[in-house]
Structure 1
């Protein structure tokens, strides 16, 4: 399943999180990490990944919870959503 993880820095934790990221690379075991996006001049960031279970997202978010606030959303592609929309409205 594909997940979009949105996160932002908690107040006062930008430097701590940045140093942790640079030291570790913020790995995602048990996931295929598709892409990370960083909004320059903002505290907003996004991660798009593929995982068999939401547990992997939860584990990663928990590891960074001291520094970051998280929103995790399962997402579908057009190819996945199209048949479901067609079924709902047929």
Structure 2
């Protein structure tokens, strides 16, 4: 999940983050990454339910832009590629 602050919302987002910790309890694991000095970052999420990503993005949508890109590992992708091209 890629996030960036909407114009004029950096301080509001920072205060909300500091006050809440921006929990993501519905997923197996997550790692939040910040681009220093850039007003953007990423959250790497492991979940079997993509709806948790939608919910988290919706909770912050008023102050942040989101791009959510599902990804899979080589081990997950290989059988799918073999199905199409094999």
Whole-angstrom distance in 2 between the partners of 1:78 and 1:41: 33
Question: 5 Å matches for 1:1-90?
Answer: 5-90=1-86
- Assess if the C-alpha contact under 8 Å between 2:24 and 2:30 holds in 1: no
TM-score, with structure 2 as normaliser: 0.90
Aligned residues: 86
SS of 1:82's equivalent? helix
Whole-angstrom distance in 1 between the partners of 2:75 and 2:35: 28
TM-score, with structure 1 as normaliser: 0.86
> Structure 2 stretches of 5 or more lacking a match?
none
Whole-angstrom distance in 2 between the partners of 1:7 and 1:87: 34
Alignment deviations for residues 29-51 of structure 1 (CA, whole Å, 9 cap, x no partner): 21123311111111221101122
**C-alpha RMSD over aligned residues:** 1.2
